[in-house]
Structure 1
Amino acid sequence: MFYTQVLRSGSAAARSAKAGRIGQSWAMLETKRLVPTLLGWTSFCAAVLGWPYAVRWVAERNR
């Protein structure tokens, strides 16, 4: 029973791979989905961790 399921699943995978891929690849879709999130987190962390340096830079500049 298990062996026939494995064969059937392998056969289906081979057919879908042979048929070709329609649309964008999974990696490209994930990249488009994650880039805005990563940019948002990066800017948030830079703002939270960088504001003391910005204050110090402005204070030194205005002396």
Structure 2
Amino acid sequence: MRTWFRHDLRTAPVAAELGISAHGLRKRLARVEELLGRALPAGPSARYDLHHALRVHTGSASV
């Protein structure tokens, strides 16, 4: 998720950095949505909440 945020939610650069296919990345994002019970691309609310949760979890201002 940190990589996804770092690349402004763009699939291709995230998949390239992680060394996986774009399809594989989308499957992982779908799993995150399933775990959260929220749709990430549907609106900014879930992304905003996840971004701040990662900040709290890492104790860092940057994700």
How would you bin the TM-score normalised by the shorter chain? under 0.3
Largest Rg, 1 or 2:
1
| TM-score of the superposed pair, with normalisation by structure 1 | 0.26
Which structure is higher in helix share? Answer: 1
Normalization by structure 2: what TM-score? 0.26
Higher relative contact order (CA 8 A, sep 6+): 2
